[in-house]
């Protein structure tokens, strides 16, 4: 009986399908049974030998078997697909209740940090914090500061001159000149900011750097006041005693003028590129404001006197953080910046 044979094949195939564990296995069963040389096809050939009466029930049995087997394949395939999806969902599961990373916090540049500290210190001492243009006139940058025409700072080698006769400020003094004009005496002010010099760049020279200048104008201001404020400033910055030395120094805008040097904090005085092997770093030029400078800004030097100083913020930050190459400061390298 061919129907029985078909039914046996159907049962066997259904259990093979049921037992299959992979898609590949399922495919090989499909080839075995439904393929061109498969076992079901084999029955079709036998049909030729059947009588017409035998053919109808055998055909029905064959069709039923084909349908059942096809349904079983379909449902097994669906089961495989469901399982694959379940496994994917399992492995790709994320916990949506975890807190987000949030924005990566940035940090202040070492120069900015020192600048903010100095601004806070001087604010607490009654000084105004002033800002001013980076492109200046020759008058504010040089003439008003008693810097003579033949002074080397005016040379092309030292100053970035613009084609219109203006220049990139070489110090923040022009901000103080503007401050004297605007505020009038008595006054206390500091002027932090970016300045520019036409320098050959090396580990201790940059064309762009930061400084803060400060000035106090009042009645009877003396070198004693100057020294008091400079000591207050340095102990606040270094949070410890630093060795200093005071030498006479010449600056056209002060008289008398001083060079205040500190013992090099990088090499502890033994000599390094930053202190040019001397063990000392020029840190704080200062002095009493020159009468000509006061007069040019409409302050009567007979009535008023003042002290002034200029502090290199960039060099100070290098001292504070032990940075031995000034080029790192403007380099924008995140490996450097993210350390602060
Ligand atoms: C420097 C310069 C100093 C001043 C700057 C100053 C400004 C005015 C009047 C008088 Cl408007 N003085 N500034 C005074 C002494 C020294 O230093 O290049 N420092 C890094």
Most ligand 1 atoms within 8 A of CB, residue of 132, 213, 249 to mutate: 213
The closest residue, in CA terms, to atom 8 on ligand 1 is 173
- In this prediction, residue 220 carries a pLDDT of 94
CA 88 to chain centre: 38
Q: Is the pTM for the entire model greater than 0.95?
A: no
The closest residue, in CA terms, to atom 1 on ligand 1 is 310
Contacts 24+ apart (CB under 8 A), 55-62: 57/3, 58/2, 58/3, 58/6, 61/2, 61/3, 61/6, 61/7, 62/6
Q: What is the pLDDT of residues 184-226, one digit of tens each?
A: 999 999 999 999 999 899 988 999 999 999 999 999 999 999 9
What span, in angstroms and rounded, lies between the C-alpha atoms of 149 and 169? 16
- In this prediction, residue 56 carries a pLDDT of 83
Return the ligand 1 atom nearest residue 176 CA: 11
- In this prediction, residue 218 carries a pLDDT of 98
Token reading at 146: 């008693």
- Tell me, in angstroms, the distance from the centre of ligand 1 to residue 315's CA: 16
- In this prediction, residue 49 carries a pLDDT of 81
Return the ligand 1 atom nearest residue 214 CA: 13
- Tell me, in angstroms, the distance from the centre of ligand 1 to residue 176's CA: 9
197-236 as b/e: b if 16+ CB within 10 A:
beeeeeebebebbbbbbbbbbeeebeeebbbebbeebbee
Contact 206, 327 (CB under 8 A): yes
- Tell me, in angstroms, the distance from the centre of ligand 1 to residue 164's CA: 26
Return the ligand 1 atom nearest residue 297 CA: 11
Q: What is the pLDDT of residues 119-157, one digit of tens each?
A: 999 999 999 999 999 999 999 999 999 998 888 778 877
| Mean local confidence (pLDDT), 6-26 | 88
Residues contacting residue 28 through CB under 8 Å, at least 6 positions apart: none
Q: What mean pLDDT, rounded, does the chain reach?
A: 90
DSSP 3-state percent helix, strand, coil across the chain (nearest 5): 45, 20, 35
Contact 79, 24 (CB under 8 A): no
Contact 211, 310 (CB under 8 A): yes
Return the ligand 1 atom nearest residue 312 CA: 20
Return the ligand 1 atom nearest residue 311 CA: 20
- In this prediction, residue 7 carries a pLDDT of 85
Spatial strand order of the sheet with 244-248 comes to: 128-129, 187-196, 208-218, 305-312, 280-289, 254-263, 244-248
Judge whether residue 48 has pLDDT over 80. no
- Tell me, in angstroms, the distance from the centre of ligand 1 to residue 286's CA: 6
Of 26, 131, 318, which Cα lies nearest the Cα of 330?
318
Most ligand 1 atoms within 8 A of CB, residue of 309, 315, 317, 326 to mutate: 309
The closest residue, in CA terms, to atom 2 on ligand 1 is 310
Q: What is the pLDDT of residues 223-241, one digit of tens each?
A: 999 988 998 898 888 887 7
Can you say whether residue 102 is alpha, beta or left, with left for phi > 0 and alpha for psi between -120 and 50 degrees? Answer: left
Contact 198, 158 (CB under 8 A): yes
H or E, element range at 275: none
Of 72, 105, 253, which Cα lies nearest the Cα of 172?
253
What span, in angstroms and rounded, lies between the C-alpha atoms of 252 and 172? 15
pLDDT-derived band of residue 6, with 50, 70 and 90 as boundaries? confident
pLDDT-derived band of residue 308, with 50, 70 and 90 as boundaries? very high
What span, in angstroms and rounded, lies between the C-alpha atoms of 317 and 246? 21
- Tell me, in angstroms, the distance from the centre of ligand 1 to residue 214's CA: 8
Quick check: bond before 256 cis, omega within 30? yes
From residue 2, alpha-carbon distances to 35, 46, 91, 231 in Å are: 20, 9, 49, 114
Q: What is the pLDDT of residues 156-187, one digit of tens each?
A: 778 999 999 999 999 999 999 999 999 999 99
What span, in angstroms and rounded, lies between the C-alpha atoms of 120 and 314? 18
Token reading at 77: 């395939």
Contact 197, 310 (CB under 8 A): no
What span, in angstroms and rounded, lies between the C-alpha atoms of 137 and 181? 15
Ligand 1 lining (C-beta closer than 6 Å): 145, 171, 173, 176-177, 211, 213, 215, 251, 253-254, 285-287, 289, 293, 308-310, 312
- Tell me, in angstroms, the distance from the centre of ligand 1 to residue 310's CA: 5
The closest residue, in CA terms, to atom 12 on ligand 1 is 308
């Amino acid at each position: 009986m061919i129907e029985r044979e078909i039914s046996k094949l159907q049962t066997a195939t259904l259990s093979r399908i049921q037992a299959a564990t992979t898609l590949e296995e399922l495919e090989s069963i499909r080839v075995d049974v439904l393929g061109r040389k498969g076992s079901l096809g084999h029955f079709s050939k036998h049909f030729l030998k059947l009588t017409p009466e035998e053919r109808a029930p055998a055909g029905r049995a064959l069709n039923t078997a084909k349908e059942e087997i096809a349904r079983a394949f379909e449902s097994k395939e669906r089961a495989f697909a469901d399982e694959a999806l379940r496994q994917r969902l399992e492995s790709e599961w994320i916990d949506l209740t975890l807190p987000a990373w949030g924005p990566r916090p940035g940090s202040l540049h070492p120069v900015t940090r020192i600048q903010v500290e100095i601004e806070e210190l001087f604010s607490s001492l009654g000084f105004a914090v002033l800002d001013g243009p980076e492109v200046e006139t020759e008058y504010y940058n040089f003439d008003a500061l008693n810097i003579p025409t033949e002074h080397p700072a005016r040379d092309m080698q030292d100053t970035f001159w613009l084609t219109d006769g203006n220049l990139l400020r070489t110090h923040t003094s022009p901000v103080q000149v503007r401050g004297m004009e605007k505020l009038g005496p008595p006054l206390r002010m500091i002027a932090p900011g970016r300045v520019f010099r036409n320098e050959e760049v090396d580990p201790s020279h940059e064309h762009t750097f930061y400084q803060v200048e400060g000035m106090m104008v009042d009645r009877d201001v003396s070198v004693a006041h100057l020294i008091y404020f400079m000591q207050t400033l340095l102990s606040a910055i270094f949070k410890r005693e630093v060795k200093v030395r005071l030498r006479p120094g010449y600056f056209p805008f002060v008289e008398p003028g001083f060079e205040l040097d500190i013992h090099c904090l990088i090499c502890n005085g033994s000599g390094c590129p930053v202190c040019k092997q001397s063990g000392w770093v020029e840190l704080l030029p200062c002095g009493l404001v020159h009468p000509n400078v006061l007069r040019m800004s409409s302050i009567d030097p007979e009535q008023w006197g003042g002290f002034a100083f200029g502090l290199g913020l960039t060099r100070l930050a290098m001292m504070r953080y032990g940075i031995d190459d000034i080029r790192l400061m403007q380099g924008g390298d995140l490996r450097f910046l993210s350390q602060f």
